[in-house]
Amino acid sequence: MTARRLAGVEKSAIRQFFDRAPAGSINLGLGEPDLPTPDVVRQAAVRAILEERNGYTPHAGLPALRERIAGDYGTTPESVIVTAGSQEALYLAITTLVDEGDEVLVPNPGFVAYPVIVRMAGGRPVPYGLPAAQDFGFDLDLFRRALTPRTKVVVCISPSNPTGRVLSENDLKMMAAALAGTGVTVVSDEIYRDLYFGDARPASIAQLYPETVVVSGLSKSMSMTGWRLGWLCGPAEVTNSAVVLHGYVTTCASAISQKAALAAWTSEAHAARREMRRTFRARRDCLLRLAAMHGLRAVPPEGAFYAMVDVAPWGSSLAVAEAALEQRVITVPGGAFGSEAERFLRLSFCVDEETLTEGMRRVARALAQLKPLEEQPV
């Protein structure tokens, strides 16, 4: 009865594991910050509800909000569409750019939604490897090999979900140079760009390659997942079409969330971002210490709130994630993100350090039951 286009489109592995978790499970699965939304944003939402009429806003979003977002990218408000989360922005960008049969390069490993949205748009997802053997870093040769005359769009993400790795400015320069003159559009997923652990905010390919559509929002950096506030920022040719589609699909992002989002550019909100970075950096360090203590190798993340833990000696990532679930800890099998991550578990650290410590203890217990460490090949 349903459209052929949707055949094989299933609930993501992330959701499947979450939905099957027994009571009392520790959640190292979902990528959803547990920290409170900054007070300045919540107060702005309360004011908007109590004092204002919240009708439809212009399809593209409140002019004042578009102006603030555009300011971050050094562009004009006309380049910005405010969306219901960055997920909608991603959907709009790909649907606007991709024709039947077009190839779209997606990172392997990468966010589970990319290949699904590409297929729904009629395109063909083509993975470019970020090799596990290189700790999921950018590999120019593999990128060049995936690129063909049929490539229409390249999706990149930094910091990455699922690895937390950042594309360095040099990586982005190499990517931009490989794409120069091809007419390919880059869709740059920057939803984690404000959650970094180094000294400086990671670079964006938009600074190096003009044919870039940035997809981002406040879900992760402002702990606003349920507020559904994201955006798309790119060349007028793309946004002029995407806004029409957006109007038919959602009309506009929530008026209340948009008004509250204006507060995300205040000094209080900037202070809250710094505090969130500090918290996630401390948890990242805690997770790396715990992994080492349990004899596990983790790839050190440089941003976001995920870490990839190598479980190769214990079998497939799916079998290990199942065993972990039996021990009441939710994780995500790396294989869900692409073949390069098949021998890894993705652990998110959206829990306090005490919970993280217990969660890692349960992961270690699951591994010990699968195959005691003494029996591991040396």
Ligand X SMILES: Cc1ncc(COP(=O)(O)O)c(C=O)c1O
Going by DSSP bridges, is the β-strand pair 230-233/212-217 parallel, antiparallel, or unpaired? Answer: antiparallel
CB of 158 to ligand X, least distance (A): 10
For ligand X, the closer CB: 323 or 350: 350
Task: Between 114 and 143, name the residue whose CB sits nearer to ligand X.
Answer: 114
DSSP 251: S
Using alpha carbons only, give the angle 77, 80, 85 rounded to the nearest 5 degrees.
Answer: 140
Shortest distance (Å) from residue 238 CB to ligand X: 18
Residue placing its CB nearer to ligand X in the complex, 125 or 364: 125
- Specify the residue, 314 or 349, whose C-beta has the smaller distance to ligand X: 349
Looking at beta carbons only, is 31 or 61 nearer to ligand X? 31
CB 107 within 8 A of CB 156: yes
Annotate 165-181 with DSSP letters as a single string.
----HHHHHHHHHHHTT
The CB-of-357 to ligand X minimum distance in angstroms stands at 24
Which CB atom, from 161 or from 185, has the smaller least distance to ligand X?
A: 161
Shortest gap between Cβ of 126 and ligand X (angstroms)?
A: 18
Assess contact for 277 and 347: CB atoms under 8 A. no
Residue of 212, 224, 179 whose CA lies nearest to 32: 224
Residues with Cβ within 8 Å of residue 141, at least 6 apart in sequence: none
Amino acid at 203: A
CB of 37 to ligand X, least distance (A): 13
Which positions touch ligand X (CB under 6 A)?
A: 31, 85-87, 90, 111, 157, 161, 189, 191, 217, 219, 225, 230
Chain residue at closest Cβ approach to ligand X:
85
Side chain identity at 224, as an amino acid letter?
M
Q: What is residue 26's three-state secondary structure?
A: strand
Q: How far is the CB of 86 from ligand X (least distance, A)?
A: 3
Please list the alpha-helical segments (H only) found in the chain.
13-20, 39-51, 63-73, 85-97, 113-120, 140-146, 169-179, 236-249, 255-261, 267-293, 317-326, 353-370
For residues 187 and 360, which CB has a smaller minimum distance to ligand X in the complex? 187
CB of 192 to ligand X, least distance (A): 7
Taking the mean position of all CA atoms in its chain, how far away is CA 90? 11
CB of 365 to ligand X, least distance (A): 28
Q: Is 167 left (phi over 0), alpha (psi -120 to 50) or beta?
A: beta
Nearer to ligand X among residue 31 and residue 77 (C-beta): 31
